[in-house]
Amino acid sequence: MKATLGRIVLIFWALSALTATTATAAAPSPTAVTATTTAASDWHVGLNLRTDLGSHPIRLDGGVRLGTWDLVAVADIMAWTDGQMDTDFMAFRRGDSGWATMVGWRWTRISLGDSAQSQQKLLLGVGGDLPDLSASIRASWGMELAAVLVKHGGGLPTESLSFASARHYIDLLNFGMFVRIEFWRGW
Amino acid sequence: MRPSKNSAMSTTAERICKLLALGMLWSSVVMTGCASESQPALICHNSNCVEPPDPHADDTLDALTASLALELDGRPAVDGIETDIFWSGESKRCIFAHDLETGADGPDAIEAANTIGKWLEGRGTKPATRAAGTFTVFIELKGHVGLSKADKHTPEQRASHASCALDMVARLAAASEASGVPLAVRFTSFDPDLLQALVDEPRWTKKTAKGEVSVALGVILGIPPPLDGQSKPLSAFSADLPIDFALCHPHWLRDGNRVAIRSRGWRLAWWMFSAVAETYDAIDRYEPAYVVTSEGETLARWLAARAQ
């Protein structure tokens, strides 16, 4: 089933890339593409991708851009593969240059068989626009610090982030990088 | 009309961007198929895997006793125990402790072996491990003899430290024989000279040749320099040493080191205190031989769920 999912995503990407190539060739100038990216408000849906171990490599990403704010929710479409589910809520504050700062929350749910442990993480990060893939598909890059503030549930004792010694927090602070590729429409 | 230089550069940048994005997507797709169901041996980190993790209690006899008593579904929660031992340059004692700042007055290292030995001898018909057939004791030989990590052993101190570790093995081997529980001992250290001192100890050969217990060496890799100075380059460890595995922190192991470890024929093992998403994914992706954790029950339950 994992292989099937991979093929579906790959086909999605291949179609997107083909569309992007056509659209880029037809675009009258780079300026026109940039202009669509900076529309004041829009909705968007796409993929949140990463190669590090912070969450599943492919998740579904959607939200709204309201002026300088981009509000994003990320749903874990691969949770069924191993019982781990990462759900993100992020707010990006975008600057004129295409760079953005980000604050967010990640709820990680780890299956322990008959129950699950939750890990609540504060996300802090930066992001930046990548060149548009087409008139309606854009991409961005981001880097995050994920701090596990509390682990709870699953019938296990609750653990909170502590800075009493390096041994207390070494596992609980982690960096990650991601790429978002999304279809968008302005309003 | 000829395209402008800026336009050409922009097109090139877009192509590069697309290639990078495609590469990342491809990597993501490939990784979706990497999970496996291998079962590592679960080892109690610093003799202290009662939850929530409390590093202040690491390598204490109370925590060791409580950790050995951890059970899940009528079996021990772990497959083995890690103990840390120091040679104190000041007191000339072999100490069971995690560090000399708080543990300089700690019990003699043999007390940890006695506690584990008595537990093994008291098992009777009850299982001694979570899933493995062999109970494994990790003995980490700490690489400094004073408060500073720069206080390194003299040759005499190294020999005494190694002798102390093999005294522990003798006690554990006696318990294994009395209880009928198969035993494996894994000596680990950041310091290649300490591993060499173990092999140079006359009793090392005797232990392996007689097959009383399975003994082997493990290299520890921690937080890399300059954040922490204990980890040594892999090249510092002689190819002549019978090294079986490298015990690494999964969040800090670089890919280059991971490949080099495999190239040397060593197995991977993970150490951690508190498991997070990255930890679980690293177990799935790299299939370590051992997982050394401060959360005995959590990891045991996760491994059991993963195996179903």
Token pair belonging to A143: 């880097």
> For residue B6, is it within any domain?
no
Q: Which of A15, A24, A110 to mutate to test the interface with B (most CBs of B within 10 A)?
A: A110
Q: Which of A19, A112, A161, A165 to mutate to test the interface with B (most CBs of B within 10 A)?
A: A112
- The H-or-E segment that residue A16 falls in is helix A2-26
> For residue B268, is it within any domain?
yes
DSSP characters over B129-188 = SSS-SSEEEEEEE-S-SSSSTT-PPPHHHHHHHHHHHHHHHHHHHHHHHHHT--EEEEEE
* Alpha-carbon distance A107 to nearest alpha carbon in chain B (angstroms): 11
Average pLDDT along chain B: 89
Token pair belonging to A104: 């967010």
pLDDT band, residue B224 (cuts 50/70/90): confident
Residues 15-54 of A with CB under 8 A from B: 17, 20, 24, 29-30, 47, 49-54
> For residue B218, is it within any domain?
yes
Stretch B148-157: mean pLDDT: 95
Using a CB–CB cutoff of 8 Å, tell me whether B263 touches chain A.
no
Tokens 């209690």, residue? B57
DSSP code, position B126: S
Asked whether the beta carbons of A112 and A154 are under 8 A apart, the reply is yes
Domain span at A75: 2-186
CATH code at position B146: 3.20.20.190
- C-alpha to C-alpha distance for A128 and A130, rounded to whole angstroms: 7
Which residues neighbour B180 within 8 Å (Cβ) at sequence distance 6 or greater? Answer: none
> For residue B48, is it within any domain?
yes
Domain span at B109: 39-307
> For residue B162, is it within any domain?
yes
Stretch B188-215: mean pLDDT: 85
Interval B180-199: pLDDT, tens: 999 999 999 999 999 999 99
pLDDT band, residue B1 (cuts 50/70/90): very low
B208 vs A135: which has the higher pLDDT = A135
Q: Structurally, how many domains does chain B consist of?
A: 1
Q: Structurally, how many domains does chain A consist of?
A: 1
Interval B281-301: pLDDT, tens: 999 999 999 999 999 999 999
pTM over 0.90: no
Is B89 strand, coil or helix?
coil
Judged by average pLDDT, the poorest of B132-146, B173-187, B208-222 is B208-222
Asked whether the beta carbons of A117 and A152 are under 8 A apart, the reply is yes
Q: What is the pLDDT of residue B180?
A: 92
pLDDT band, residue B212 (cuts 50/70/90): low
A181 vs B33: which has the higher pLDDT = A181
Q: What is the pLDDT of residue B97?
A: 97
> For residue B114, is it within any domain?
yes
> For residue B19, is it within any domain?
no
Q: Per-residue pLDDT for B30 more than 70?
A: no
Stretch B247-259: mean pLDDT: 94
> For residue B20, is it within any domain?
no
DSSP code, position A156: S
Q: From B308, which residue of chain A is nearest by alpha-carbon distance?
A: A113
Q: Residue-wise pLDDT tens for chain A (187 aa)? A: 344 444 444 444 444 443 344 334 333 333 334 434 455 899 999 999 999 898 999 999 999 999 999 999 999 999 999 999 999 999 999 998 889 999 999 999 999 999 999 999 999 999 999 999 999 999 999 999 999 999 999 999 999 999 999 999 999 999 999 999 999 999 8
